[in-house]
Amino acid sequence: MDLFTSLAQKITGKDQTIVFPEGTEPRIVGAAVRLAADGLVKPIILGATDKVQAVAKDLQADLSGVQVLDPVTYPAADKQAMLDALVERRKGKNTPEQAAKMLEDENYFGTMLVYMGKADGMVSGAVHATGDTVRPALQIIKTKPGSHRISGAFIMQKGDERYVFADCAINIDPDADTLAEIATQSAHTAKIFDIDPKVAMLSFSTKGSAKGDMVTKVQEATAKAQAAAPDLAIDGEMQFDAAFVEKVGLQKAPGSKVAGHANVFVFPELQSGNIGYKIAQRFGGFEAVGPILQGLNKPVSDLSRGASEEDVYKVAIITAAQGLA
């Protein structure tokens, strides 16, 4: 079954509410209207009502299934409750005056809607940089219990093939602890997308075939991930061919439950992860869906600023599915 057909079935009827802070962006409005019309999520668009309506008119789109919420005219009592919650959440790091200023930023406002349970997830980034989306999420929603950091994964799909690549978006040079956490986070993400995770910790070495600090880091990360999640199939360190090609896996890592069968690939640092997913996308013809932010208490998704309306539509579906996981 197609990935998004499967996810759509999961979220239909679950009334997941997704907030879109960039309410005057045509790609956002178009996707939100489609999501509502298809009965997949209940969209909240942030922005001045007249401006959002003007965008919808230009698109000839029907906003009847979409809630348009203007932060400027948000009811005073609700805004005060949001302000109090933000000040408390920041635990003395921001004054009430600073918090009020923060809430003028639509990403902070949208993040607070998620934090306070008025929305199940947030999708932003069509016109904002990654930091503008991620920073409020880290400050307010924070990481899941037991998690210490977030990471970014891509679902790579082509036909019946479906894989997880991580981290391709967030951690520039993760240490062994971070790599181990990325591995377990990515396995959890794989399950959301109906992938039975077999996690390969990638390196230029397979089972000690090469030496060096970079190899040692992946070896340590593998041991930490295996200890943290003994129920998961995680193995490494291994080269990509050993992880992916059964014949090579049998030669280089005999006895491994992952070698030759991996479907979740954890890269040793961001540079190789970013290069790897783009090679698969451009040379291999895979669709790269993401980045999917992993490790947050509640789902927040960061769009590429080059995202199309279709991308926004799909990322919202993913975000709603994460909210049910």
Q: What is the CATH number of the domain that holds 131?
A: 3.40.50.10950
Question: Are β-strands 198-202 and 264-266 bridged in parallel, bridged antiparallel, or unpaired?
Answer: parallel
**Tens digit of pLDDT for each residue in 169-210?**
899 999 999 999 999 999 999 999 889 999 999 999 999 999
Which pair of structure tokens corresponds to residue 75? 């009811």
In a domain, 21, yes or no: yes
What's the chain's average pLDDT?
94
137 and 170 both lie in a single domain: no
Q: Which string of DSSP letters, residue by residue, matches 264-290?
A: EEE-SSHHHHHHHHHHHHHTT--EEEE
The total of structural domains in the chain comes to 2
Least confident piece of the model among 12-26, 181-195, 226-240, 294-308: 294-308
Is the Cβ–Cβ distance between 206 and 238 less than 8 Å? yes
The beta strand positions in 47-112, using DSSP E, are 67-69
Mean pLDDT throughout 69-86? 94
Which pair of structure tokens corresponds to residue 180? 């181990």
**CATH code of the domain containing 195:** 3.40.50.10750
The beta strand positions in 48-131, using DSSP E, are 67-69, 121-124
* CB-CB neighbours of 2 under 10 Å: 11
Question: What pLDDT does 1 receive?
Answer: 60
**Tens digit of pLDDT for each residue in 110-161?**
999 999 999 999 999 889 888 888 899 999 999 998 888 999 999 999 988 9
Q: Which string of DSSP letters, residue by residue, matches 142-169?
A: -BPTT----EEEEEEEETTEEEEEE-SS
Mean pLDDT throughout 245-262? 96
| pLDDT of 47 over the 90 cut | yes
112 and 160 both lie in a single domain: no
Is the Cβ–Cβ distance between 159 and 192 less than 8 Å? no
Domain that holds residue 62: 3-142+297-324
Question: What pLDDT does 129 receive?
Answer: 83
Question: What pLDDT does 294 receive?
Answer: 93
Question: Are β-strands 264-266 and 67-69 bridged in parallel, bridged antiparallel, or unpaired?
Answer: unpaired
Indicate whether this model's pTM tops 0.95: no
Contacts of 129 (CB under 8 A, 6+ apart): 305
Beta bridge partners of 154: 165
Question: What pLDDT does 309 receive?
Answer: 92
164 and 277 both lie in a single domain: yes
Mean pLDDT throughout 222-231? 97
Residue 260 is inside which H or E element, if any? none
Q: Which of 106, 294, 314, 295 is nearest to 303 (CA)?
A: 314
239 and 175 both lie in a single domain: yes
118 and 188 both lie in a single domain: no
| pLDDT of 251 over the 90 cut | yes
**Helices 213-228 and 176-192 meet at what angle, rounded to 10?**
50
DSSP label at 296?
B
7 and 129 both lie in a single domain: yes
Question: What pLDDT does 291 receive?
Answer: 84
**Tens digit of pLDDT for each residue in 277-324?**
999 999 999 988 888 899 999 999 988 788 899 989 999 999 999 999
Mean pLDDT throughout 50-78? 94
205 and 263 both lie in a single domain: yes
Which pair of structure tokens corresponds to residue 115? 């934090």
175 and 275 both lie in a single domain: yes
**Residue in the structure block whose two tokens are 């990481």:** 143
Work out the burial of residue 12: count CB atoms within 10 Å of its CB; fewer than 13 is exposed, 13-18 middle, 19 or more buried.
middle
- First-to-final CA distance of the chain: 19
Q: Which of 264, 271, 250, 146 is nearest to 206 (CA)?
A: 250
224 and 259 both lie in a single domain: yes
Question: What pLDDT does 153 receive?
Answer: 93
Number of residues that this document lists for the chain:
325
